[in-house]
Structure 1
């Protein structure tokens, strides 16, 4: 006894939508990383360097080859201070 092909159409639509969603998310993640592959297993040092690169270039994964920091970077402090309890 055969299965009518009309019963398989919803499964084909669902499979197609999963594929479109996966490709879209992959493309968005690729664009957010400046055209580079996503990074996994980041430690504190990697996050610190990526934050520094973001403050220097404006992009999370961008890197600058300038020997001197841009104007205003000396006041762009990454340290977060806690509020004093008095």
Structure 2
């Protein structure tokens, strides 16, 4: 006795939706990385360099071959100051 194909339609829809969602998330991650492949197992050095690249170019994965930093980069300090840290100083 065969299985009625109507019983398999919901499973096909669910499988299709999982495939569409996975492809959409993959494309979104690809676009967020500036068209480059995603990076895995980043250490602190990689994060610092990616933050530097973001401050230089405006993109997290962007890189530049310009030897001179753009105007305003000297004022673009990566150190963050929190208000509660200032209270402990005084």
CA distance in 2, matches of 1:81, 1:7: 60
Query: Where in structure 2 are the equivalents of 1:1-86 lying within 5 Å?
Result: 1-82=1-82, 83-84=85-86, 85=88, 86=90
Structure 2 gap ranges (5+)? none
State the Cα deviation string for residues 8-44 of structure 1 (Å, max 9, x = none): 0000000000000000000000000000000000000
TM-score by length of 1: 0.96
TM-score by length of 2: 0.92
Count of residue correspondences: 86
Question: Which 4+ stretches in 1 moved above 3 angstroms?
Answer: none
Root mean square deviation, CA, Å: 0.9
Structure 1 gap ranges (5+)? none
